[in-house]
A = this chain, B = another copy of it.
Amino acid sequence: MKNTFGTCVSVTLFGESHGEYIGAVLDGLSPGVPVDRDYIAHELELRRPSGKISTSRVEADRFSIVSGVFEGKTTGTPLTVIIPNESARGADYARGLPRPGHADLTGFFKYHGFEDYRGGGHFSGRITAALVAVGAIVKSALSRRGIAVGTHILRCAGVNDAGFSDISREIAELDEMQFAVLDEGAGERMREKIEEAAKDGDSVGGVLETAVTGVPVGVGEPWFDTLEGVIAHAVFSVPGVRGIEFGAGFASADMRGSESNDAFVLQGGKIMTETNKCGGINGGISNGMPIIFRTAVKPTPSIFKPQRSVDVLKNEEVTLELRGRHDPAIVHRARIVIDAIVSLALADMLEARYGGDYFGGGE
């Protein structure tokens, strides 16, 4: 399936940047999960552009849940969210003039020119709003099982944030922050750098760090649905992601085995690992420690500097100068999308292991 992810719990995404509606169908989530519209709105708010460091296209994201919720709870049948595009300005876009770093060129050749090219069409980051909406519901479901997901901006425009130290508390705090950092000073410096790049008509990238706590031991499948593989599959769907690493990640390459291995120890009668170089995963399966991964996000490809491109209809080189409304950085908005998609991936694997009623039941 192309625009569907997951098996036991699945999400299907639809819509285009400048179409009538974007939306998502969430299927398979247990019946009886309370659906809190305010929390969905809150999560959409965290994704929404704001201030000088974001695009001036601000969508109200007036979502409707048109199926799958009855008397405030999931029914267990498909839950559909639709969100109108209210601030679309399709006229800003021209056919056959691919913007570097975007999917315009590949979309043109894949869909033979029939794609909705306006603002990236179906490839647009806009679609992630629908993902965040259903992701919020899934996050709520996970929390009923003591599982929490949170992401902070570990690095942006060359500025480092602090690392996770007291993960559970920090995840809760991140869920209240518009610009998600653990060290507020670092966040301020990042925002300055983003504004600086914006003034230059340019953009910046960053690294996100995600932690998941509370996943029971034994989730994931060797060959081939490893936790890392499934999470990576999901995360690369988020536009702009260029890399992912778990636990010690790329730094492991320079370690020795004695340094890279996590010893098993008993803490309060429970088996834990002394360190967490493996990011909470052994052999593709959760070991009960926090799952930790980092995602590399490239700078927003939409910049206001002149760029070389090719007019694919005339087959001639051109210089492209973008107009329209664009983000000088998306890393701070992408983090809530990562949370959403990882929540979905985990919910799917948890229901695969524990069955379809895992998240449900009474209030």
Contacts and interface: CB of A to CB of B under 8 A. Distances in A.
A176 interface: no
Contacts of A224: 2-5, 13, 233-234, 237
A86 to B, nearest CB: 14
Interface stretch (A53-61, A163-171, A180-188, A309-317): A309-317
B205 A255 contact: yes
A355 interface: yes
Interface in A243-273: 243-250, 252-266, 269, 271, 273
Contact of A236 (B110, B228, B269, B278): B228
A336 interface: no
A266 B298 contact: no
Contact of A233 (B127, B230, B257, B302): B230
A75 B253 contact: no
B78 A3 contact: yes
A139 to B, nearest CB: 18
A236 to B, nearest CB: 4
Nearest to A241: B228
Contact of A355 (B73, B242, B303, B353): B353
A112 interface: yes
Contacts of A222: 3, 77, 103, 122-123, 237
A317 B265 contact: yes
Contact of A249 (B77, B296, B307, B355): B296
Nearest to A357: B112
B264 A105 contact: yes
A245 B248 contact: no
